[in-house]
Structure 1
Amino acid sequence: QHTIVMTGASRGIGRVAAEHLLCRSPDVHLLVVARGSSGAQLAAELATGGHTVSHVSADLCSLPSVRSAATGIRDRLDKGELPPLRGFVGNAGTQYTNALTETPEGFESTFAVNVLANHLFVRLLQDRFAAPARIVITASDTHFGDFRHNMGMVPGPAWKSPDVLARTGAFPEPDTTTAGRTAYSTSKLAALYLVHEYARRLPAGIDAVAYNPGFVPGTGLARNAGPVSRFAMRRILPVMTLTPFATRRSAAGRYLADVVLGTTQAPTGSYVDRGRADRSSQESYDPQRERELWDAAEQLTAAYAAGADGLSDDF
């Protein structure tokens, strides 16, 4: 038996992936991370059929909440309440209609959820992984920033110093939807940078892989958008799954499960585009930016990682 920790399992591709993981890996104990009381209901629904599912509460917009969840998982592993940890799936993501939404700790919310929350989870669980293990972070082809990958619906990333990206107002006209979408694509570029750093720094036997589901209409990603955009995502854009441009939610979730289970061959540091390992954008391979982001992420999360029992500073 083994444990897989997963964020973003309550809806969309994450829900589909969770169901695949449980059906295809009978020995898995799936530990879902969800906000508030929703985790208990999610765990109960997923456990139907005799699967082993538990939950931990966390608000990914709050780094103290992430710390509490991660330390709780560490305690359960140490007490033998959970089987060995073999996976972490950072599938949760968010996109706002501006670049001014702020977390209680003063971070720009897109960057906090899509980058810092994943990093803090990895940092706090790093010494509890039992090889072979796999960390999978959900990325996005919006990081390419070209028409071919998103038909101009999302502006490309606009990289800046990570200390600037972590705060509100990093982009021009920060109160606009364009700025919010730029924050999203930039955060997904940052996720790739961190995956490359994890591949360099994690011990042998613990892989880190980025997964791109492609454009998947009908997910909860547009839940913070205006009513017109939400209607389009739910009712109009799903027809695009009939074209090669978009991915059905069922297929995207299955592809994610394939990556987590290792069915899709992808060495550590890989970028998996739907069902196969591929090259990410040229901009996403930049060792200097990767080191700078690593240093910034370490600094920005240090207060929440400090003091965890047994946590090593060498990583």
Structure 2
Amino acid sequence: MKHTIVMTGASRGIGRVAAGHLLRRSADLHFLVVARGSSGGRLAAELAAELAAELTTDGGHAVSHVSADLGSLDSVRSAATEIRDRLDRGDLPPLRGFVGNAGIQYTNALTEGPEGFESTFTVNVLANHLFVRLLQDRFAAPARIVITVSDTHFGDFRHNLGMVPGPSWKSPDVLARPGAFARPDTAVAGRTAYSTSKLAAIHLVHEYARRLPAGIDTVAYNPGFVPGTGLARHAGPVSRFAMRRILPMMTLTPFATSRDAAGRSLADVVLGTTVAPTGSYVDRDRVARSSEESYDPLREGELWEAAERFTAA
């Protein structure tokens, strides 16, 4: 049956790999990419051309795009509304999936979006929440929401090799604003904002599992440490060079995941090839437990309430 999957963060890194797998492996898929400006149109054209070159017959696939700046809640709201309208008009087949794969890490904790929220928290947490809530009543069960998270939320050497500080949880009203962490103008604060935002994303996945209607499953996907994905594109030249040229060699060890392997695993989670009950945390290719800190119903409920306030029209 024809169906639609919506994805952010499909233009580079593991998202780009996952997009190809989804299109090749899911018959009758309409793949809708959400990307900034004209990049979505270019990506949609590239994916469609690649698929046409690989397939000798038309399997019913289609690729389209919606423009959105994930750092702006107004832009996200407009994109989600456009998707809703296209579904209601019948321009898109039934919605069966949303993949919140886009993520960002800044070199400080002071970057502010147009609504006054700190940009790491906006992109990694609030943008996904707004998409989920505005599309919630348009999903056709069985449907699956997948949010890409990070094992940096554990905050220990085993999971981040000392490269990213662990999360530092505070009230959501503090976390959502610039300057939430010590020395907010430093890269350490920016990385702390990143790990904390990924912990928040896992909290919300647990809350979605409680609140969303039956038939809409929500899963947190951790790709592990994947060098060369563009996540550090706002870092300084030395860090960018290391991520592009040196750290990729770590994929030959158990400490890192290649982009191809991570993208394939993400597609497996989206398609249900990796069996994962709603509320699960998938570590690369298997269901596992996230950090002990990530299981906190009181904190999760508080975050839900705050995210609802922050994203209200």
TM-score range, shorter chain: over 0.9
Partner of residue 58, structure 2: none
- What's the secondary structure of 2:233's corresponding residue? helix
Partner of residue 310, structure 1: none
Aligned-pair distance for 1:27? 1.1
Mapped partners of 2:248, 2:39: distance in 1: 27
Q: What TM-score do you get using the length of structure 1 for normalisation?
A: 0.96
Mapped partners of 2:275, 2:127: distance in 1: 27
Partner of residue 46, structure 1: 47
Partner of residue 168, structure 2: 158
Mapped partners of 2:156, 2:12: distance in 1: 28
Confirm or deny that 1:146 pairs with 2:174.
no
Mapped partners of 1:96, 1:38: distance in 2: 21
Q: Which shows bigger deviation, 44-53 or 133-142? A: 44-53
Partner of residue 222, structure 1: 232
Provide, for residues 262-309 of structure 1, a one-character-per-residue CA deviation record: whole Å limited to 9, x for no partner: 000100000000000000000000000000000000001012xxxxxx
Mapped partners of 2:242, 2:131: distance in 1: 33
Partner of residue 55, structure 2: none
Superposed counterparts of 1:48-127, under 5 Å? 48=49, 49-50=51-52, 51-127=61-137
Confirm or deny that 1:4 pairs with 2:14.
no
Mapped partners of 2:7, 2:177: distance in 1: 26
Unaligned runs of 5+ in 1: 304-315
Q: Which shows bigger deviation, 49-58 or 292-301? A: 49-58
- Determine which of 261, 282, 298 is the counterpart of 2:308: 298
Provide, for residues 93-120 of structure 1, a one-character-per-residue CA deviation record: whole Å limited to 9, x for no partner: 0000000000011000000000000000
Mapped partners of 1:9, 1:26: distance in 2: 19
Partner of residue 309, structure 1: none
Aligned-pair distance for 1:237? 0.3
Provide, for residues 211-245 of structure 1, a one-character-per-residue CA deviation record: whole Å limited to 9, x for no partner: 00000001110000000000000000001001001
Aligned-pair distance for 1:32? 0.1
Aligned-residue CA RMSD (Å): 0.5
Q: Any runs of at least 4 consecutive aligned residues in structure 1 with deviations exceeding 4 A, and if so which?
A: none
Provide, for residues 170-212 of structure 1, a one-character-per-residue CA deviation record: whole Å limited to 9, x for no partner: 0000000000000000000000000000000011110000000
Provide, for residues 1-46 of structure 1, a one-character-per-residue CA deviation record: whole Å limited to 9, x for no partner: 0000000000000000000000000211000000001111100000
Give the percent of matched residue pairs that are identical in Structure 1 and Structure 2: 85
- What's the secondary structure of 1:203's corresponding residue? coil
- What's the secondary structure of 1:29's corresponding residue? strand
The letter for the 1-side match of 2:44 is A
Mapped partners of 2:228, 2:124: distance in 1: 19
Aligned-pair distance for 1:161? 0.1
Q: What TM-score do you get using the length of structure 2 for normalisation?
A: 0.96
The letter for the 2-side match of 1:64 is D
Aligned-pair distance for 1:129? 0.1
Partner of residue 190, structure 2: 180
Mapped partners of 2:41, 2:155: distance in 1: 38
Q: Which shows bigger deviation, 49-58 or 182-191? A: 49-58
Aligned length: 303
Mapped partners of 1:167, 1:7: distance in 2: 23
Partner of residue 56, structure 2: none
Mapped partners of 1:208, 1:124: distance in 2: 15
- Determine which of 275, 281, 284 is the counterpart of 1:274: 284
Mapped partners of 2:246, 2:213: distance in 1: 45
Unaligned runs of 5+ in 2: 53-60
Mapped partners of 2:28, 2:264: distance in 1: 18
Mapped partners of 1:146, 1:165: distance in 2: 21
Q: Which shows bigger deviation, 43-52 or 223-232? A: 43-52
